[in-house]
Homo-oligomer: A and B are copies of this chain.
Amino acid sequence: MTEERSSREDLGTRLRDARKYCGFSQEEVARHLSVSRSAVSLMESGSRSVNAMELGRLARLYQRSMESLTGTVSSESGSESVGLLARATAELSERDRQEVLRFAEFLRSRSSTSD
């Protein structure tokens, strides 16, 4: 909950910075998103969550990538293996695929440090 809150606040801060950088008022942004101005204020203070579509429109309005707004790293360098695994197992039988997935699940649960 506290964790949730802090990253929402970070997002809010970035949103506010981006908006001010572009010279928009909350009112204008509100109209752009079809929400009330107070909603925008709450978003920027982290007291209201921003949904995916709103994030998309904001990114477009502010000329920024979504990632730069949320602060998430698009792709952690270490493992691009996920897609490849899926591709590989797609050709196996339903049975064997299940095996592989089970094993992968096992590995995931074993090393719970990373995602």
Cβ of A91 within 8 Å of any chain B Cβ, yes or no, is no
Question: Which bracket fits the contact residues of A?
Answer: 35 or more
Instruction: Label chain A's interface by main secondary structure.
Output: helix
For A60, the chain B residues whose CB sits under 8 A away are 72-76, 115
Chain A contacts with B in 59-106, Cβ cutoff 8 A: 59-63, 65-67, 69-70, 72-76, 79-80, 82-83, 85-86, 89, 97, 101, 104-105
Can you list, as one digit per residue, whether each of A38-56 has a CB less than 8 Å from chain B (1) or not (0)?
A: 0000000000011111111
Are the CB atoms of A72 and B59 closer together than 8 Å?
yes
Of A53, A83, A85, A101, most B-chain CB atoms within 10 Å: A53
A22-B83, A22-B86, A56-B66 known, 6 other contacts, Cβ within 8 Å = A22-B85, A60-B74, A63-B80, A63-B82, A65-B74, A66-B72
* A residues adjacent to B (C-beta < 8 A): 4, 7-8, 11, 21-23, 28, 32, 49-57, 59-63, 65-67, 69-70, 72-76, 79-80, 82-83, 85-86, 89, 97, 101, 104-105, 108, 115
